[in-house]
A and B are shown apart, each in its own frame.
Chain A
Amino acid sequence: MTRLHHPLPAEEEGDRSCSTSGIALQLVVNIIVLGSIYALIACGYVLIYRVSRVLNLAHGELMMLGAYLLLATASLFNGHPAIALAAAVLLSLLAGALVYVFLMRKMTGEMVLAAILTTVALGILIRGAVLLIWSAQQQYPAQALGVANPSFSLFGGARISFWSAVLVAITIAVYGALFGFLRFGRWGMRMRAAGQNPLLAAQRGINLHGVYALAWCLSTLTGAFAGILMALDSGLTSSMPIIGLKAFPAALVGGLDSLAGALAGALIVAGAEVLLIYYVDPLLSDVVPFLVLIAMLVVRPWGLFGTREELDRV
Chain B
Amino acid sequence: MFRPAPRASGYLHTGYGEDIALLQTRTERASLAVFAILLAVFPFLASPFALDLACQVFLASVGALSLMLLTGYAGQISLGHAGLIAAGAFTTGILAREISAPFWITLPASALTGIVLGFIFGLPSLRLRGLYLAVSTLALHFVVIYLGGEYETKRGFSTGIVVDPPRFAGMKLTDGRAWYFVLLAAAVVSLLICVNLLRSRSGRAWQALHVRETVAEALGISVARYKLLAFVISSSMTSVAGCLFAYYRGFVSIEAFDLFLSIQYVAMIIVGGMGSLLGALLGAAFITVFPYLIEALLRLLPNVQKLAGEIFAVNYAAFGLVMILFLIFEPLGLVGIWHRLQNYFLLWPFRYKPLAGARK
Identify the A interface with B (CB < 8 A): 55, 103, 106-107, 110, 112-114, 116-118, 120-129, 131-132, 135-136, 245, 248-249, 252, 283-284, 286-287, 290-291, 293-294, 297-298, 301, 311-312, 314
Q: Is the CB of B324 within 8 A of A113?
A: no
Residues of A within 8 A of B128 (CB): 297, 301, 311
Beyond the given A114-B331, A293-B135, please list 4 additional residue pairs across the A-B interface where CB-CB is below 8 A.
Answer: A113-B77, A120-B323, A283-B150, A293-B136
Complex: A106 Cα to B266 Cα, angstroms? 20
Residues of B within 8 A of A312 (CB): 129
Chain B contact patch, size range? 35 or more
Q: Is the CB of B327 within 8 A of A121?
A: yes
For B129-149 the 0/1 string (1 means CB < 8 A from A) is 111101110111011011001
Residues of B within 8 A of A124 (CB): 260, 263, 316-317, 319-320, 323
Complex: A287 Cα to B132 Cα, angstroms? 18
The residue in A110, A127, A249, A297 that gathers the most chain B C-beta atoms within 10 A of its C-beta is: A297
What is the chain A residue whose CB lies nearest that of B263?
Answer: A120
The reply on B1 being an interface residue by CB < 8 A is no
The reply on B127 being an interface residue by CB < 8 A is yes
Given contacts A116-B131, A128-B317, contact A286 B327 (CB under 8 A): no
For B201-232 the 0/1 string (1 means CB < 8 A from A) is 00000000000000000000000000000000
> Whole-angstrom distance from the CB of B73 to the nearest CB of chain A?
14
The residue in B130, B132, B146, B327 that gathers the most chain A C-beta atoms within 10 A of its C-beta is: B327
Q: List 14 A-B contacts (CB under 8 A).
A: A112-B130, A113-B71, A117-B327, A120-B263, A121-B327, A125-B316, A126-B320, A128-B315, A131-B313, A132-B313, A290-B138, A290-B143, A291-B139, A301-B128
> Whole-angstrom distance from the CB of B61 to the nearest CB of chain A?
20
Given contacts A107-B328, A117-B327, A290-B142, contact A125 B135 (CB under 8 A): no
What is the chain B residue whose CB lies nearest that of A241?
Answer: B259
What is the chain A residue whose CB lies nearest that of B127?
Answer: A301
Q: Is the CB of B136 within 8 A of A294?
A: yes
Residues of A within 8 A of B270 (CB): 117
The reply on B310 being an interface residue by CB < 8 A is yes
The residue in A55, A107, A301 that gathers the most chain B C-beta atoms within 10 A of its C-beta is: A301
> Whole-angstrom distance from the CB of B86 to the nearest CB of chain A?
14
What is the chain A residue whose CB lies nearest that of B309?
Answer: A135
Q: Is the CB of B132 within 8 A of A128?
A: no
> Whole-angstrom distance from the CB of B148 to the nearest CB of chain A?
11
Interfacial residues of chain B within 303-326, with CB under 8 A of chain A in the complex: 310, 312-321, 323-324
Residues of A within 8 A of B143 (CB): 287, 290-291, 294
Q: Is the CB of A121 within 8 A of B320?
A: yes
Q: Is the CB of B146 within 8 A of A132?
A: no
What is the chain A residue whose CB lies nearest that of B130?
Answer: A314
Q: Is the CB of A121 within 8 A of B316?
A: no
Q: Is the CB of B146 within 8 A of A131?
A: no
> Whole-angstrom distance from the CB of B131 to the nearest CB of chain A?
5
Complex: A110 Cα to B139 Cα, angstroms? 25
Q: Is the CB of A311 within 8 A of B129?
A: yes
- Top 8 nearest A-B pairs by Cβ distance? A128-B317, A125-B320, A128-B316, A124-B320, A131-B313, A121-B323, A314-B130, A290-B139
The reply on B159 being an interface residue by CB < 8 A is no
Q: Is the CB of A128 within 8 A of B129?
A: no
> Whole-angstrom distance from the CB of A60 to the nearest CB of chain B?
11
Complex: A245 Cα to B139 Cα, angstroms? 10
Given contacts A131-B312, A294-B139, contact A122 B320 (CB under 8 A): yes
Partner among B130, B139, B140, B313 whose Cβ is within 8 Å of the Cβ of A249: B139
For B36-72 the 0/1 string (1 means CB < 8 A from A) is 0000000000000000000000000000000000010
Complex: A131 Cα to B323 Cα, angstroms? 18
> Whole-angstrom distance from the CB of A112 to the nearest CB of chain B?
5
> Whole-angstrom distance from the CB of B64 to the nearest CB of chain A?
15
For B115-126 the 0/1 string (1 means CB < 8 A from A) is 000000000100
The residue in A126, A128, A312 that gathers the most chain B C-beta atoms within 10 A of its C-beta is: A128
> Whole-angstrom distance from the CB of A81 to the nearest CB of chain B?
29
What is the chain A residue whose CB lies nearest that of B135?
Answer: A252
The residue in A103, A116, A126, A135 that gathers the most chain B C-beta atoms within 10 A of its C-beta is: A116
Complex: A64 Cα to B289 Cα, angstroms? 29
The reply on B153 being an interface residue by CB < 8 A is yes
Partner among A118, A283, A297 whose Cβ is within 8 Å of the Cβ of B146: A283
Residues of A within 8 A of B313 (CB): 128-129, 131-132, 136
Residues of A within 8 A of B318 (CB): 128
Residues of B within 8 A of A245 (CB): 259
